[in-house]
Amino acid sequence: MSVAAGAFVEELREIVNLKHTMRHPMVQRIATGDFSIPELRFFAQQYYQRTARMFPKLVAAVYSRTPDDPDLEHMLLENVVSESGFLNPDREHKKLFFQFGRALGLSREEIERARPVPELQAFIGWRDRVFYDAPWLEALTVQSFVFEGQNLKRAAVIAEGLRRHYSFSEEDIAFWAEHASEVEEEHADVGPRMLERFATEDLTKQRLREIVAEGVEVYWLVFDGIERGAATYRA
């Protein structure tokens, strides 16, 4: 990666780091074991609606709008295959998430039918506009920096908190461990690599700065909303 492209990537990462969701108070409460099981149930139901329900389809939507580029196509398709469990059905991300739900006493139906909190409803509308209507490079940048760029560290914090303070098995928390692994790092790598190739104009770079900053704010509000809703179940 060129010096200029590397500096731009680091600039976007710094925008994310200024308000990284691994430091959100709700995530920190899970990390310290201060989140009750009823609160965790509510969290799981909402978190699924956030992206776990739709993520392979969202990546596929970006893929369908990208220019002809073998490297880009391969990386996005690999992401879809991994998330959907085509090569390893036991590691399908939805299946792993439902394992976590069962450990909390939630059925698949209870997770899927959960009504998103208003902040999450607003986020879903924003997310869908980006992934289905915005220029493909904006969608890819949001995917790589705002979503998967935060997943690795946030999932690691959550996984460690669940291990230390709750009576879950490794299978129960496999969803979080998977997203704290090198798999997620590989998925997030597509954005930085493609920015070097396609984000060459100053106007394009400025728009990507804006969409990442906007995404970080909207994403933080989702966690605010889930924390607010979970407070109803606080012991």
Q: Do residues 178 and 96 make contact, with C-beta atoms less than 8 angstroms apart?
A: yes
Sign of the CA dihedral running 82, 52, 151, 58: positive
- Beta carbons of 194 and 72 less than 8 angstroms apart: yes
The pLDDT score that the predictor gives to residue 229 is 97
Confidence at residue 139, expressed as pLDDT on a 0 to 100 scale: 94
pLDDT at res. 133: 94
Token readout for 103 is 């450990």
Question: What is the per-residue pLDDT across 109-124, written as a single tens digit (0 to 9) for each?
Answer: 999 999 999 999 999 9
Alpha-carbon gap, residue 178 to 184, rounded angstroms? 8
Whole-number pLDDT of residue 192 = 85
Domain ranges of the chain: 3-233
Rounded CA-CA distance 158/166 in Å is 11
CB distance 229 to 39 below 8 Å = no
- Answer for the pair 179, 113: CB distance below 8 angstroms, yes or no: no
Question: Rounded to whole angstroms, what are the CA distances from 90 to 82, 85, 145, 159?
Answer: 11, 7, 27, 19
Q: Which pLDDT does position 117 carry in this prediction?
A: 97
The hierarchical CATH code for the domain 3-233 is: 1.20.910.10
The pLDDT of residue 169 is 97
Task: Give, for all 235 residues of the chain, the pLDDT tens digit.
Answer: 564 778 999 999 999 999 999 999 999 999 999 999 999 999 999 999 876 666 778 888 888 888 888 888 888 888 777 766 667 767 788 889 999 999 999 999 999 999 999 999 999 999 999 999 999 999 999 999 999 889 989 999 999 999 999 999 999 999 999 888 766 556 567 778 889 889 999 999 999 999 999 999 999 999 999 999 999 998 6
Measured CA to CA, the distance from residue 106 to residue 13 in angstroms comes to 35
The proportion of the chain whose per-residue pLDDT surpasses 70, expressed as a percent, equals 90
| Sheet strands (E) in the chain | none
CB count within 10 Å of CB 27 equals 23
The residue with tokens 């461990």 is 177
